[in-house]
Amino acid sequence: MLKTNKKGHLILETEATVPYELASGPSWHRFFEGFKEEKIYGVKCPKCKRVLVPARSFCSLCFEDTDEWVQVADEGEVKGWSLTNYHFFGMPTEPPFITALIRLDGADTDMDHLIGGFDLTDLDLVTKTLQMGARVKAVWKKEKKGCIMDIKHFKPV
């Protein structure tokens, strides 16, 4: 549809939706099956011995297959966070929300997720609560779909 924008220029507005369907493969499948049982799995690289979370079929550094599945804790330490307080396309939940990197106990990599379960409108409270090394634990949803959002968020302990 033709429109005139605020600069007075003629614009053609269109939209379309393009469908994709991606194969999960065995690693994502097993990782998210674990979520249904409230378990978080990593894999151990046979060479560098790092426990990689989320679980995956190979170690990118050593370029070796990983076949040892290891359950890691659903709690750990906050490595970094950011507080979002504006709306944007593709956001995981209504703002304000906190996305964070969390080093789960037993893992050698950080996991991305949300931190919540307390008042996020007070920035001072947030910075006090989430100081370096703050501990958080997963809050699981009751209804699970076998996806990353089966964890509602991580909550400070």
Partner 1 sequence: MGRPVAIIGVGQTMHGHRSDVTYPELIREAVEAVFEDTGVSPEDIDGVIYGSMPSMMEGVALNHFYFAEALRGVGKSFMRTETCGTTGISLAFTGYYQVASGYADLVLVVGSEKMHEGDPQATMATVAEPFYQRPFTAGAPGYYSMLSQQWMWRYNIPEEVCRDAAAKLSVDHHEDAKLNTYAHIKQSFTMDEVKHSPVIVYPIRLLDVCPTTDGVCATIFASEEMAKKLKNKPAWVKGIGFRGDTFFVGDKDRVWSESPIGAARQAYEMAGITNPLEELDMAEIYNPFTFVELLHMESFGFCEPGQASDLCLKGTFARGGKLPCAPSGGVLCTNPIGATALIRVAECALQVSGRAGGHQVEGAKLALASGLGGAQQFNGVMILGSEL
Partner 2 sequence: MLEKVGIVEVAQLPGPETSDYYLDQLYRICKEVLDKAGITREDVGTVVSGASDIFHGGVSCANAYFWDSGAGELKNGSRNDGESLTALFYGAMRVASGHYDTALVFGICKGSENPATDMCTHFYTDPLYQRQIGLNETFAAGLQMRDYLERYDVTEEQCAKVVVKNLGNALRNPYAHVKKRVSVEDVMSSKRIMDPLKAMECAPQSDGIVAMLLASEKTSMKLTKKPVWLTGFGSSLDKFFLGDRDLLKSELSTAAKQAYDMAGIADPKKELDLAEVSEPYAFQELLWCEYLGLCGPGEGGKMIDSGATQIKGDLPVNPSGGVLAMNPYISRGLYRAAEVALQIKGEAGERQVDREVKKGLAHGTQGFGGQFHAVAVLEG
Partner 3 sequence: MAKYYDTLQHNVWLPYKFAVGPVYGRFYEGLQEEKIWGNKCPECGKVLVPPRSFCPDCHVDMDEWVEVSQEGEVRLWTLADYQFFGAPVDPPFIGALIRLDKTDCDLLHIIGGLDLSDLEAVKNKIKRGIRVKAVWNEEKQGHMLDLKYFELV
Listed in sequence order, the residues at least 6 apart from 83 whose beta carbon sits closer than 8 Å to its beta carbon are 96, 97, 98, 120, 123, 126
DSSP string, 71-105: EE-SEEEEEEEEEE-S--TT-SSSSSEEEEEEEET
Q: Given candidates 43, 100, 136, 138, which one binds partner 1 under the rule CB under 8 A?
A: 100
Residue 86 engages partner 1 in binding (rule: CB under 8 A)? yes
Residue 15 engages partner 3 in binding (rule: CB under 8 A)? yes
- Say which entry of partner 1, partner 3, partner 2, none residue 13 contacts (CB below 5 to 8 A, set by partner kind): partner 3
- Say if residues 115 and 94 touch (Cβ distance below 8 Å): no
Q: Least distance from C-beta 118 to partner 1, angstroms?
A: 16
Rounded to 5 degrees, what angle do the CA atoms 111, 115, 68 make? 25
Q: Given candidates 5, 8, 9, 14, which one binds partner 2 under the rule CB under 8 A?
A: 14
> Which lies closer to partner 3 via its Cβ, residue 3 or residue 142?
3
Site string for partner 3, 43-82 (x = CB under 8 A): ----------------------------------------
Residue 87 region by backbone torsions, left for phi larger than 0, else alpha for psi between -120 and 50, else beta: beta
> Which lies closer to partner 2 via its Cβ, residue 30 or residue 144?
30
The rounded distance, in Å, linking the Cα atoms of 7 and 138 is 48
- Say which entry of partner 3, partner 2, partner 1, none residue 157 contacts (CB below 5 to 8 A, set by partner kind): none
Buried b (16+ CB within 10 A) or exposed e, 131-150: eeebebbbebeeebeeebeb
**Which residues sit at the interface with partner 1, rule CB under 8 A?**
5, 7, 9, 11, 14, 22, 24, 28, 52-54, 60, 79-86, 88-92, 99-101, 109-114, 123, 132, 148-149
